[in-house]
């Protein structure tokens, strides 16, 4: 199993959870020999200490060559790749107008196009074997659309759509898809602390009346959780591990892990019914099922 963006947060926790289940896990991250060296060593040491097969591989989702090299190394070492967990991502917070086109392009390059790079590296192998599982770590923001996260919401929505349409096609080659939709988390990840802000500060000044609202983005998110609820991203890792432990053919296409009580599950169910009916009316009902 390959997990992208495994240096911290959900990717790191998912790598640990899957390794604990007995899988051979390749936790991927950028700059393994540099800024992420300590995190890579920590995962390797955990694997040794716990007797888990937890390995680390260099993979930058912004580089096609890096994705191809990582997947080739895994195939050479392990002989096959059964599952990819698309987790790598980044958060932007700020006013939409103040993000330059280059800012937005960079975020889409990470959150959306990065998925495409990794899929292009791994899908030829999975199609040849006519088996495999793609797990996408999406976001409930594509449904509830919170303020002051415009480029992030757009990139996650685009990634979700890409995952859905890819699923029609790869499903005909025995490849399963699950989209996991986490709600917001303000602990256990570096999402909010390491969020990028708009680079056009002059444009941001034009919205200065709203600065107090932006300043309390994390506080406002915390307020969504009912008292006493432990909203920790380990729940997402546990759900990914649960889904992947299910028998082939029984895994859900979507699953929501949300402590904010946003009602996303109900919306997803309505969207699923509408999508299924639409595609069926087009005469493509067979694309809704994974071919065995």
What are the catalytic residues?
152
**CA-to-CA distance for 174 and 289, rounded, in angstroms?**
9
Task: Give whole-number Cα distances, 134 to 14, 83, 151, 207, in Å.
Answer: 14, 6, 24, 40
Answer yes or no: are the C-beta atoms of 36 and 117 closer than 8 Å.
no
**Cβ burial 110-133 (10 Å sphere, 16+ → b, else e):** bbbbbbbbbbebbbebbbeeebbb
How far, in Å, CA of 116 to CA of 109, rounded?
Answer: 10
Determine contact, residues 52/104, Cβ cutoff 8 Å: no
Cα→Cα distances 49→1, 33, 46, 54, 157, Å: 20, 21, 5, 10, 39
51/39 Cα distance (integer angstroms):
18
């Amino acid at each position: 199993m390959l997990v992208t963006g495994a240096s911290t947060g959900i990717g790191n926790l998912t790598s640990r959870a899957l390794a604990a289940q007995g899988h051979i896990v390749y936790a991927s991250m950028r700059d393994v020999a540099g800024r992420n060296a300590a995190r890579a060593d920590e995962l390797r040491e955990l694997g040794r200490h716990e007797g888990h097969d937890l390995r680390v591989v260099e993979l930058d989702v912004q580089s096609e060559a890096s994705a191809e090299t990582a997947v080739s190394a895994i195939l050479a070492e392990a002989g096959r790749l059964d599952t990819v967990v698309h987790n790598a991502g980044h958060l932007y917070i700020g006013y939409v107008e103040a993000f330059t086109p280059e800012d937005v392009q960079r975020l889409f390059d990470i959150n959306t196009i990065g998925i495409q790079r990794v899929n292009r590296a791994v899908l030829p192998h999975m199609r040849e074997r006519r088996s495999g599982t793609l797990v996408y770590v999406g976001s409930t923001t594509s449904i509830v659309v919170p303020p002051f996260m415009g480029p992030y919401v757009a990139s996650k929505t685009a990634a979700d759509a890409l995952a859905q349409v890819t699923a029609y096609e790869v499903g005909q080659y025995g490849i399963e898809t699950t989209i996991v939709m986490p709600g917001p988390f303000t602990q256990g990840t570096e999402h909010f602390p390491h969020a990028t802000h708009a680079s056009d500060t002059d444009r941001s000044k034009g919205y200065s009346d709203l600065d107090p609202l932006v300043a309390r983005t994390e506080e406002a998110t915390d307020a969504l959780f009912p008292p006493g609820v432990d909203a920790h991203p380990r729940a997402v890792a546990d759900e990914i591990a649960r889904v992947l432990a299910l028998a082939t053919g029984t895994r859900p296409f979507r699953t929501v892990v949300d402590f904010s009580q946003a009602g996303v599950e109900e919306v997803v169910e309505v969207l699923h019914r509408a999508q299924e009916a639409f595609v069926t009316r087009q005469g493509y009902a067979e694309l809704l099922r994974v071919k065995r």
